[in-house]
Chain A
């Protein structure tokens, strides 16, 4: 055990990539968990998934076009899709579901097609490229200092927006009709929620890859909802769970050499099971 700690401390001091991975991983996990509660409750869990596929497609396009900074293309495309999806999915549930599925599968297919037709890295290892975009693999350990700063700034913006709009997000999530009828600009806040989600997803692609992003968004929220009863406590708990899972996952993956993204998600699943059991026990005692 001591050995492991020494190894970790050593990494931490001497390998900047490990430090970066921790900072970025924790910040992104924190941001992703905050809106999870809203997404789960609004029955929008799949939108996170759909958007991450859009981001994947955009990334493929950016790579093929030869953009030096992928973010410039991925971010706007994902935000536009988020706005479109949340705007259309508002009233007609089935239509919303179908459009999410359509956009997400479409983006995935086109992205893969492009990566195959125009191999980018020159390595000729298309399968490897695709796999690392989809599952994150080791890209979190190859972050540059600029990536870290971009993540820090965007995460701070997301956090500040969330705190400022916390009460509005609550009322729009709990009862959109009531909010609208009593003069809350529900459409505007839905738009803000959509934009924040898009930003988080693009950021999270670096950590867990595009297929696993929704896990980062919904698992902490679902875990917290098993045990806690108020919106505030659920939100705080989800944030803590998410940060805990992300840091544990990164540590395990560094020690064991497992892929970062899937390790974090595995920890998330384990925590969910624990919370689920706690919820059952607590519920049982009460009844």
Chain B
């Protein structure tokens, strides 16, 4: 059974449709790369998957033991965060907030796990540093550690390497790859088709031409008729 199923979803805002009749599904252990031009609706799709928007038509359902709030999320930097006075530890542990419910403070176990996640992201020596003083790559790893606090099952990454230099980009990709090999399902939004080809198991291309299927069939399609896929196209042989 799929962890995440989008069933003929139509996306848009303020009554304007930007994506119609989109269907795809993500199973445990997949590495899905969502690519598409600017304005093709990648961010809207992501926000809809996260439950921040509701789709105009169709349904998005989670299954296979995944609850809708168990999707960890690595957002793009917001303006607020750029001068937010917060230590790395404070930010990482805030990933547990959703699980706290009405409980006002974090438990010992949550603090331990937060420390573990910081170690995994190799930021444990930055724990007391101020977030806004870190480099772009370090900030991304902090937010990734926070996302890991929120979930052990599925991560949604929004342009995780935007604005990073090539060396840090490579580090970031290998870190994400590590998490994927630990069994975490990855959904990544990216401009970087090359990286998608290298790491992903599946590709969703949105825009004028919609494609969903395995990386291999995407490659085949790309070489055959350079990005022109029919709307419902693609098969799933994951």
How many A residues are at the interface, by size bracket? 20 to 34
Contact mask for chain B residues 63-105; partner A; CB cutoff 8 A; 1 contact, 0 none: 0000011111101001011011111001100110111100011
Task: From known contacts A167-B105, A182-B69, A229-B130, infer whether A177 and B86 are also in contact, taking CB-CB under 8 Å.
Answer: no
Complex-state Cα separation, A68 to B151, whole angstroms:
55
CB neighbours of A174 from chain B (8 A): 80-81, 84, 86, 91, 94
CB neighbours of A37 from chain B (8 A): 85
CB neighbours of A231 from chain B (8 A): 84-87, 90
A234, B80: Cβ atoms closer than 8 Å: no
From 41 to 72 in chain B, residues with beta carbon under 8 angstroms from any chain A beta carbon are 47, 50-52, 68-72
Interface residue? A126 (CB, 8 A):
no
CB neighbours of B98 from chain A (8 A): 179, 182-184
CB neighbours of B186 from chain A (8 A): none
CB neighbours of A225 from chain B (8 A): 83, 85
Interface residue? A146 (CB, 8 A):
no
B75, A178: Cβ atoms closer than 8 Å: yes
B50, A177: Cβ atoms closer than 8 Å: yes
User: B84 to chain A: closest CB distance in Å?
Assistant: 6
From 78 to 136 in chain B, residues with beta carbon under 8 angstroms from any chain A beta carbon are 78, 80-81, 83-87, 90-91, 94-95, 97-100, 104-106, 128-130, 133
Partner of A167 from B69, B84, B106, B128 at Cβ < 8 Å: B106
Interface residue? A180 (CB, 8 A):
yes
B94, A167: Cβ atoms closer than 8 Å: yes
CB neighbours of A163 from chain B (8 A): 104
CB neighbours of B187 from chain A (8 A): none
A42, B73: Cβ atoms closer than 8 Å: no
Interface residue? B33 (CB, 8 A):
no
Interface residue? B196 (CB, 8 A):
no
From 122 to 173 in chain A, residues with beta carbon under 8 angstroms from any chain B beta carbon are 163-168, 170-171, 173
CB neighbours of A175 from chain B (8 A): 75, 78, 80-81, 94
User: A240 to chain B: closest CB distance in Å?
Assistant: 15
Complex-state Cα separation, A20 to B133, whole angstroms:
43
CB neighbours of B50 from chain A (8 A): 177, 180-181
From 39 to 83 in chain A, residues with beta carbon under 8 angstroms from any chain B beta carbon are 41-43
Interface residue? B150 (CB, 8 A):
yes
Interface residue? A228 (CB, 8 A):
yes
A229, B87: Cβ atoms closer than 8 Å: yes
Complex-state Cα separation, A166 to B69, whole angstroms:
21
Interface residue? A230 (CB, 8 A):
yes
User: A156 to chain B: closest CB distance in Å?
Assistant: 16
A41, B95: Cβ atoms closer than 8 Å: no
Interface residue? A232 (CB, 8 A):
yes
B84, A181: Cβ atoms closer than 8 Å: no
Complex-state Cα separation, A228 to B105, whole angstroms:
23
CB neighbours of B68 from chain A (8 A): 183
Task: From known contacts A177-B75, A230-B86, A230-B130, infer whether A183 and B99 are also in contact, taking CB-CB under 8 Å.
Answer: yes
Complex-state Cα separation, A229 to B84, whole angstroms:
8
Task: From known contacts A41-B84, A230-B85, infer whether A182 and B150 are also in contact, taking CB-CB under 8 Å.
Answer: yes
Partner of B52 from A166, A181, A229 at Cβ < 8 Å: A181
Partner of A168 from B81, B95, B97, B128 at Cβ < 8 Å: B97
Complex-state Cα separation, A173 to B90, whole angstroms:
12
User: B125 to chain A: closest CB distance in Å?
Assistant: 16
Interface residue? B205 (CB, 8 A):
no
Task: From known contacts A41-B84, A182-B72, A231-B86, infer whether A171 and B130 are also in contact, taking CB-CB under 8 Å.
Answer: no
User: A83 to chain B: closest CB distance in Å?
Assistant: 21
Complex-state Cα separation, A168 to B98, whole angstroms:
9
B85, A178: Cβ atoms closer than 8 Å: no
Q: List the interface of chain B (C-beta within 8 A of A).
A: 47, 50-52, 68-73, 75, 78, 80-81, 83-87, 90-91, 94-95, 97-100, 104-106, 128-130, 133, 146-147, 150-151
6 A-B contacts, Cβ less than 8 Å apart? Answer: A177-B52, A181-B69, A181-B71, A181-B73, A182-B71, A182-B73
Q: List the interface of chain A (C-beta within 8 A of B).
A: 37, 41-43, 163-168, 170-171, 173-175, 177-184, 224-225, 228-234
Chain A to chain B: the 5 pairs with minimum beta-carbon distance, closest first = A183-B69, A229-B130, A183-B98, A182-B98, A230-B87
